[in-house]
Amino acid sequence: MAKSTLHISKGVEDAPSINPKLKAHPFARRSPEELALKLAMGDLSALAQGITLVESQAPTDLSDASELLNLLMSKSGNAIRIGVSGVPGVGKSTFLESYGIYLLEKDPKAKVAILAVDPSSAKHQGAILGDKTRMVELGKHPRAFIRPTAAGGALGGVARATKEAMILCEAAGFNHIFVETVGVGQSETMVSQLADCFLFLAMPGTGDELQGIKKGIMEMADLVAMNKSEGEYRTAAERGALEVKRALQLVTRSQEEWIPSVSLISGLFCEGFEVLEADLERYFRHAKIKGTFEQKRNEQNQFWFERSIYEGIQSLFASDINWISLKSALNQQVLSREVSPFEASRQLLDSLKGKI
């Protein structure tokens, strides 16, 4: 953090125009216009600072964050957004580091951003953050950007931070965005609502390849990669891939729909990446031809719009002591089955009459 502050101060001194508001601010700080300008030129410290700004919950940052996003909105949307999930130990970080470097070396125009989402980090003191320190190689690459989203709180809050970080990364010219998530609680569902493509990492196990695959993950995966398909594990991986393939076909047999492919990869030895890349390209071609690519992005935007209105309204009421105590009393009655949940909500809503 100290390092990035240094960068920022330097940036401000170099900036062609200094916002007059800056003088009143206790710390040197770029205006949204300056940040947007630097960021759109691909300046990584501006990108980092921008993300910190949109992540901030401080009321004083809200209008600057809004302004920054509005300035950059039109420059976003041009990346492919890939959600990556899998059980702890499946090798997500190793895979992302190797595959990121593979993409960067292959294509001089590629720019790879990795956003790591851990909704539980507030509780677990950011386990995923520790993970990131392992992506040493990729982290040093000038066309890579790695960022853990430390935001906790409501689902919508974490999603907002991630989605807005994504917008800023795209505005900064990143064209491959990976959103990594640990398989905790609702994080996969959230990431699948942020990404164009959901890549699930599996691994060969002790005869039970699907161990740990939670309910619902099969239906969310657009692609599956069997990681650690290397050396002595190769045979087990091939068997596991077949099993996963069969399961995937059973749940998505429609003619119209995409049937997820399953590839064998090794993050550690950088193997199978050509096949995975071809699978990804095939997926995006299919989604664009069928129109599901744009449709999905629209639905996601609609989803988050409704969702965050909902969360916002809830937090408005959350400061109303009468609402809270009535809701909690009614909730008790619902749980003890004295009153139907619908009747309880009617009573709660009646208390709003004349207020709205």
Please report, as ranges, the residues that interact with its own copies according to CB under 8 A.
Answer: 62, 66, 69-70, 73-74, 76-77, 156, 160, 163-164, 167, 208, 210-211, 213, 215-216, 218-219, 243, 246-247, 250-253, 298, 301-305, 308-310, 312-313, 316-317, 320, 327, 330-331, 334-335, 337-346, 348-349, 352, 355-356
Q: In whole angstroms, how close is the CB of 14 to its own copies at the nearest point?
A: 29
Helices (H), the chain: 2-14, 21-24, 32-40, 44-55, 59-72, 92-106, 121-124, 127-132, 136-140, 155-171, 187-192, 217-220, 234-251, 273-290, 292-317, 321-335, 341-350
Q: Select 96 or 158, whichever has its Cβ closest to its own copies.
A: 158
Q: Select 137 or 343, whichever has its Cβ closest to its own copies.
A: 343
Q: In whole angstroms, how close is the CB of 247 to its own copies at the nearest point?
A: 4
Residue 80, SS3?
Answer: strand
Using CA atoms, how far residue 342 sits from 213, 327, 346, 351, in Å, is 35, 13, 6, 15
Q: Select 100 or 260, whichever has its Cβ closest to its own copies.
A: 260
Measured distance CA(308)–CA(160) in Å, rounded: 9
Rg (CA), the chain: 23
Q: Select 54 or 84, whichever has its Cβ closest to its own copies.
A: 54
Q: In whole angstroms, how close is the CB of 221 to its own copies at the nearest point?
A: 11
Q: In whole angstroms, how close is the CB of 340 to its own copies at the nearest point?
A: 6
Q: Select 6 or 349, whichever has its Cβ closest to its own copies.
A: 349
Which distant-in-sequence residues (6+ apart) come within 8 Å of 108 by Cβ? none
182 in Cβ contact with 118 (< 8 Å): yes
Q: In whole angstroms, how close is the CB of 271 to its own copies at the nearest point?
A: 26
268 in Cβ contact with 137 (< 8 Å): no
Q: In whole angstroms, how close is the CB of 156 to its own copies at the nearest point?
A: 8
Which distant-in-sequence residues (6+ apart) come within 8 Å of 318 by Cβ? 324
Measured distance CA(112)–CA(109) in Å, rounded: 10
Q: Select 106 or 297, whichever has its Cβ closest to its own copies.
A: 297
Q: In whole angstroms, how close is the CB of 32 to its own copies at the nearest point?
A: 13
Q: Select 131 or 164, whichever has its Cβ closest to its own copies.
A: 164
Q: Which amino acid is at 309?
A: I
